[in-house]
Structure 1
Amino acid sequence: MATDVHRPVSPAATRAAKAVHVEGLTRSFDGRAVIDDLRLGIEPGEFVALLGASGCGKSTLLRVLAGLDRDIEGTVLVPRRRAVAFQAPRLMPWKKVWRNVLLGLPGRPERAVAERALDEVGLGHRGNTWPRTLSGGEAQRASLARALVREPDLLLLDEPFGALDALTRIKAQRLVGELWQRRGCAVLLVTHDVEEAVLLADRVLVMDGGRIAHEQRIDLDRPREITDPGFAGLRAALLERLGVRTGPEAS
């Protein structure tokens, strides 16, 4: 029988060792292990991207780290202050944008708290509007503001740019990179986009068979350019690891 050993720890205790420490994590559905004896460590302030084929357990792992899935075996240590942004912004249509940002916060936080977070993502002028009036990119930024207002030591991003058009996606990627550098929190980004992973992360992990099967450190200077030969080489190596051939031999 699976036991729940998901243990949030204080930011100070986590910072002394790892922002995330996972050991022997197993999560099964109907007797099938989607995550199987997984080990993972993330340093404080580190940006980690997680790649893998659909169904490999990426989003399940993120839900475990967020405390949304506790039917697990193994050890999971995470900061108490953590926040999640999903692919769908999940805004409540009957609440103004600024009220959406404050959803779930304890006590009665003032509107100014939401407005500061909205200013940080470039939406200060949209706080008093209804969610239905936002574009897709604006809605995703509102979702990011809702995560940031929690002052997280760990920010979990589950394919937050997946539904955006190409131009809006580029802008959103840049925004997340800037927010991470400003905030200094640890980030785990789940994505299918290899280019996005190399663009943003300090380290890229590839998940396969319910475990971390490959690790690639990204030692490129920031800001990064996709035209950089080093960028292209890392992208090609990760694609090959994922079973996608590039270059003339792929045709």
Structure 2
Amino acid sequence: MATDLHRPVSTAVRVEGLSRSFDGRPVIDDLELTVHSGEFVALLGRSGCGKSTLLRVLAGLDRDISGTVLVPKRRGVAFQAPRLMPWKRVWRNVLLGLDGKPGREVAERALEEVGLEQRSGAWPKTLSGGEAQRASLARALVREPDLLLLDEPFGALDALTRLKAQRLVAELWQRRGCAVLLVTHDVDEALLLADRALVMRDGVIAYETPVALDRPRATGDPAFAELRSRLLSELGVDEPAAAA
């Protein structure tokens, strides 16, 4: 049975014995996971390994599970697709799903935090891809989350916009101090942002490593390259041999 409870002060997420099957096929199989308060964790794995399913469970969007899941009540989620309602202006999209009747100023504070305050009254169809993703982040942040769940939120962005979005998330995390779980296919992204990187395989967390690198990080750092090589190996990816 799943449990959605307040977590201990030092722990944002605790998962014990989590299992989830689809049509009799286990996608998550007796998984264990702890995320500490204020920790930034990146979750990597091949397509179909269960990463997004785990995130949906933590977000409370999938409850057909067995095991125990302890998460904060205040959670924010941003997906790869911004999922903005085209018939609602940006500020109204930010407030979607909030309890009570918060005013526009509440949305605009969150939009200002992601640098989108000037687009508050715009229609979603007029936003660029990066702006739409920032609006999605504002919708997550307006909930004042203790846990921010990010499901490949930069996957559809071009390379330059993706770098800007990564920096924005790093700044928001440092400012907010909430725990973050980022699902990504990008090893460099995981190492640039996270305190700890996990690899999911066969329905469980098969490997994890701390990312004990000074911030800001550089991909040219030898320690970064060593961690990158190790994670790629755990993901079953062989790096090309260096030229002689």
Taking structure 1 as the reference length, what is the TM-score of the superposition? 0.95
2:16 counterpart residue number: 23
Residue 84 of structure 1 deviates from its aligned partner by: 0.5
1:94 counterpart residue number: 87
Residue 8 of structure 1 deviates from its aligned partner by: 3.0
Percent identity reads 74
Residue correspondences, number: 243
2:126 counterpart residue number: 133
2:3 counterpart residue number: 6
Map 1:48-127 to 2 at 5 A: 48-127=41-120
Q: What residue ranges of structure 1 are gaps of 5+ in the alignment?
A: none
Q: Say what the alpha-carbon RMSD is for the aligned residues.
A: 1.1
What CA distance in whole angstroms lies between the structure 2 residues aligned with 1:181 and 1:15?
21
What CA distance in whole angstroms lies between the structure 1 residues aligned with 2:84 and 2:3?
27
Residue 248 of structure 1 aligns to a residue whose secondary structure is coil
| Alignment check: 8 A CA contact 1:15 1:44 kept | no
Residue 249 of structure 1 deviates from its aligned partner by: 7.3
Residue 17 of structure 1 deviates from its aligned partner by: 4.1
Moved over 6 A (4+): none
**1:158 partnered with 2:151:** yes
Map 1:98-247 to 2 at 5 A: 98-247=91-240
Provide, for residues 14-35 of structure 1, a one-character-per-residue CA deviation record: whole Å limited to 9, x for no partner: 2424110000000011111100
What CA distance in whole angstroms lies between the structure 2 residues aligned with 1:215 and 1:225?
21
What CA distance in whole angstroms lies between the structure 1 residues aligned with 2:40 and 2:177?
9
Taking structure 2 as the reference length, what is the TM-score of the superposition? 0.97
| Alignment check: 8 A CA contact 1:85 1:157 kept | yes
What CA distance in whole angstroms lies between the structure 2 residues aligned with 1:190 and 1:23?
19
Provide, for residues 59-98 of structure 1, a one-character-per-residue CA deviation record: whole Å limited to 9, x for no partner: 0000000000001111100000001100000000111101
What CA distance in whole angstroms lies between the structure 1 residues aligned with 2:4 and 2:8?
15
What CA distance in whole angstroms lies between the structure 2 residues aligned with 1:176 and 1:130?
24
Residue 238 of structure 2 aligns to a residue whose secondary structure is coil
